[in-house]
Structure 1
């Protein structure tokens, strides 16, 4: 198994771990002459222990540890593909620490070769395994690092050394980062480490926009990709997931001279059904998936019908429309408490307000004012624009029920929309209904304390053009609902 070459990456997946069959295993890599010469070489410096060495070892653990990697009383040797050195060991010590070694040495012990070939482990990992079996339980001295942990974990799994497994898994849990979460997720699934896999998925949830841009994502297997797509708590726009899945499939097909849409669909397999196309805007779907050739005509028609028919009246769409949500929500109100007046009227125009903030975050929706005297259900169309490009990042046409009070009422996008630090955006809302409350004496700059998530500063400004009269000082769209 190749070693990892970066402190932020982990070695590739091992094959499934069978019970080692070392019974009378022939040594194929070395000739008998080479083995004879090796056995006649001078022993290593620690091959023998001084007379009465036991006197300086005050515990059984100390005495057993002194025998580790030592030729003294060794009755079995191991050879590995990446080294010419034969590693000495003691059958009794290995047997009391591993049921696999115990079964190996008790099965036709007389016919078992005294030199056992281990073809699927590297020397450093096998030495760490032996040091643990001889009583060394210290992570640094076992050399468990970012580069070595997966190889050592493989050895611990292979020889059923549960204590060493726990050390490796605990090390991984403490060192999960967004840079290694994807490859660790693949490894955790391979090794059936459910808790480690769950922690990796949580990291990916919270950093999905970054994770989907890392090259490691292209190397994961289909089952791992599907495990990510199944998440209800994945904090990323669905169109980004679509683009990532297509890139992943093309990477898997990179050995082909030409790649067709049918090949991409076949490579994606069950992952395609996990993409929530109804969460995209109609524009995103029309410009991307609908023209890709990957979806069938029936699937495309069903999604367009979903977009255009009244809410909940069309049930033939095969794709999930449950919004994904992950981050903790916060609300910033650009008006002080009690700064509310009434009789804001509507004439088929958008109320708009321009804003920017000092952190990258997600916009989940807006809080809007409702009817003055009695309950009323408003039809509302909300949008979020990027000011410089004019691009619509997201929109939603829905309803909300006002109760006649001056409270605000939530209207959400289909999924949170990402905005960047320091760039201006325009929040828009077009209401159909009677006059409503509106805010007065608005604030231009608000710093919102988000507790453990830190602080976010919003700057509000006038949005030129159609705005139905809303501006920084007064108007609609009192609240921005955002996620960190």
Structure 2
């Protein structure tokens, strides 16, 4: 080891000259100059060597490579020294550059006013991940500015986009998924867009089906829109009762009401549409009056199929709402009571779930004997080989004579014990061994090759046994 104190060694290195330089004081050719970083590195290493007198005889002096690994990351000028050595893969090195000023060559001013943020980025990384960024930085009309304003993008969504471009890492949640989807579509990052759509699909439910349908239509996501509509078809009542239903736009309302696949009675559709029209009047700052409600509904009002209601449902609801004029009310009452039916100006085609051939399935060929009900449920387990809808059960009544009974119907998914459909209703029997219809409010979907339980609980004394 060189003699002298540590400071003496450093000073000698800093002021040393090359004694064997060709030409004495002549300047070295450029390709022969000693690398300044290398010289500075030697100075650094010497600065970190212990004083000669402090080195114990049996204590090994750290190797130069070991000393290098112990160096602090900060170097002269505020830049990180040799950060690349700690990143073993391209992904790690690019991820390190995310939201980092190192090598940054562009800044984005994202958001508006108080929410505005300045985000550093690297043109090369962005150009590799997005055709839009590639055109922005390298196209014929490429920008020359190093600062780009994005007032229409949420800062959090832009962070998620950059995080994905730098590291393939997906960071989305319920609060940011829609803004991230918008940003991904804006910059043509299809892979992130797909992740957003998959997230929405996995979180789709009756409580947000209408909200997501509106967004899917806005962002032109037909696959997501189709899933939302399927969810609404299967669970129309719950979807219409969800809080988000009254917030949808008019085009989405029209698209839903024009469907033939809604599984709900028309009277309930009318009640939901009435709620939407009240909310729309408030949004437009209009008085909530029948005239204004019909005006804001537009063609959606004509999509309500009043002829599908019973006369009682029509009399108790639409006829008293004030949305129909006198002529329409008279025409609809005539439709319910006379033949041939007059033209009322509203569709009378049943919704899809109420169409198709109704079939009755008999389990046994004949009826024999009888049994007494004790207040417990009678159940039959069944499976089908194709998708069907159960609209009700055929039940036997008392053999003593005409009577009216209350019955609680259920269809239960065997594996999960989930109640797929239920209703408490009444039916009348006439004392014969015929079956009597007890119906669900809405058809219950039955999937193929899946076990279900048909359950009926009657409040009666005794009945014919169902062997047919």
Preserved contact between residue 368 and residue 478 of structure 1 (Cα < 8 Å): no
Q: Tell me the TM-score normalised to structure 2 length.
A: 0.63
How large is the Cα RMSD of the aligned pairs? 4.1
CA displacement at 1:325 relative to structure 2:
4.7
State the Cα distance separating 1:59 from its structure 2 match: 4.2
Matches of 1:295 and 1:57, distance apart in 2? 72
Q: CA deviation at 1:235?
A: 1.7
SS of residue matched to 2:241: coil
Identify which of structures 1 and 2 has the higher relative contact order when contacts are C-alpha pairs closer than 8 Å and 6+ apart: 1
Q: In the alignment, is residue 318 of structure 1 matched against residue 345 of structure 2? A: yes
Contact 2:406 2:427 in 1 (8 A): no
* Segment drifting more, 66-75 vs 78-87: 78-87
Alignment partners' CA distance in 1, 2:106 and 2:281: 47
Match of 1:76 in 2: 106
Q: 5 Å matches for 1:254-403? A: 254=282, 256=285, 258-310=287-339, 313-314=340-341, 316-326=343-353, 337-339=365-367, 364=391
Describe the superposition over 1:240-264 as per-residue Cα deviations: whole angstroms up to 9, x where unpaired.
Answer: 1101101110111126463332211
Structure 1: how far apart are the matches of 2:89 and 2:301? 60
Aligned partner of 2:239 in structure 1 is 211
| Cα 1:163/1:358, change in 2 over 3 Å | farther
User: Are 1:117 and 2:149 an aligned pair?
Assistant: yes
Which residue is 1:427 aligned to?
427
Task: Select which of 95, 102, 109 maps to 1:65.
Answer: 95
* C-alpha contact 1:207 1:235 (8 A) present in aligned 2: yes
State which of 159, 171, 182 in structure 2 corresponds to 1:127. Answer: 159
Q: What does residue 137 of structure 2 align with?
A: 105
CA gap of 1:177–1:453, structure 2 versus 1, over 3 A, is farther
- State the partner residue of 1:394: none
In 2, are the aligned partners of 1:205 and 1:235 still within 8 Å (CA)? yes
| 8 Å contact from structure 2 (residues 263, 351) kept in 1 | yes
Give the whole-Å Cα distance in 1 for the aligned partners of 2:455 and 2:361. Answer: 10
Which structure 2 residues correspond to residues 108-187 of structure 1 after superposition, within 5 A?
112-134=144-166, 136-139=167-170, 142=171, 144-187=172-215
Q: Does the 8 Å CA contact 2:117/2:155 hold for their aligned counterparts?
A: no
User: How far 1:270 sits from its partner (Å)?
Assistant: 1.1
Determine if contact 1:461/1:472 at 8 Å carries over to the other structure: no
User: 5 Å matches for 1:447-462?
Assistant: 452=450, 454-462=452-460
Query: Would the alpha carbon gap of residues 302 and 200 (structure 1) be closer, same or farther in structure 2, given more than 3 Å must change?
Result: same
CA distance in 2, matches of 1:304, 1:250: 26
Tell me, what secondary structure is at the counterpart of 1:364?
strand
3-state SS of the aligned residue for 1:253? Answer: helix
Query: Any idea what SS the aligned residue of 2:109 has?
Result: strand
Cα deviation for residue 364 of structure 1 reads 2.8
Task: Report the Cα offset of residue 281 of structure 1.
Answer: 0.6
Match in the other structure for 1:89: 121
Kindly provide the CA deviation profile for residues 253-291 of structure 1, in whole angstroms up to 9, marking residues without a partner as x.
126463332211111111111111111111111222123
Q: More helix by proportion, 1 or 2?
A: 2
More strand by share: 1
Look at both structures and tell me which one has the larger radius of gyration over its CA atoms: 2
1:233 to 1:356, Cα distance in 2 relative to 1, 3 A: farther
2:463 to 429, 448, 473: 473
Q: SS at the partner of 1:272?
A: helix
Pairwise CA distance, 1:419: 8.3
Task: Determine if contact 2:126/2:165 at 8 Å carries over to the other structure.
Answer: yes
| Mapped contact 1:78–1:87 kept (Cα < 8 A) | yes
User: Is the contact between residue 233 and residue 324 of structure 1 (CA under 8 Å) also seen in structure 2?
Assistant: yes
- C-alpha distance in 1 between matches for 2:344 and 2:100: 68
Secondary structure at the aligned position of 1:457 is classed as strand
Distance 1:235 1:439, change over 3 A: closer
Unaligned runs of 5+ residues in structure 1 are 1-43, 342-352, 370-383, 389-417, 441-449, 463-470, 480-484
Structure 2 residue aligned with 1:7: none
Q: Cα 1:227–1:150, aligned 2, differ >3 Å: closer, same or farther? A: same
Inter-partner Cα distance in structure 1 for 2:142 and 2:365 = 87
Aligned length: 347
What does the per-residue CA deviation read over 1:19-78, in whole Å, with 9 as the maximum and x for residues that have no partner? xxxxxxxxxxxxxxxxxxxxxxxxx99x97744444444444443333221111111101
Q: CA–CA distance in 2 between the matches of 1:96 and 1:257?
A: 51
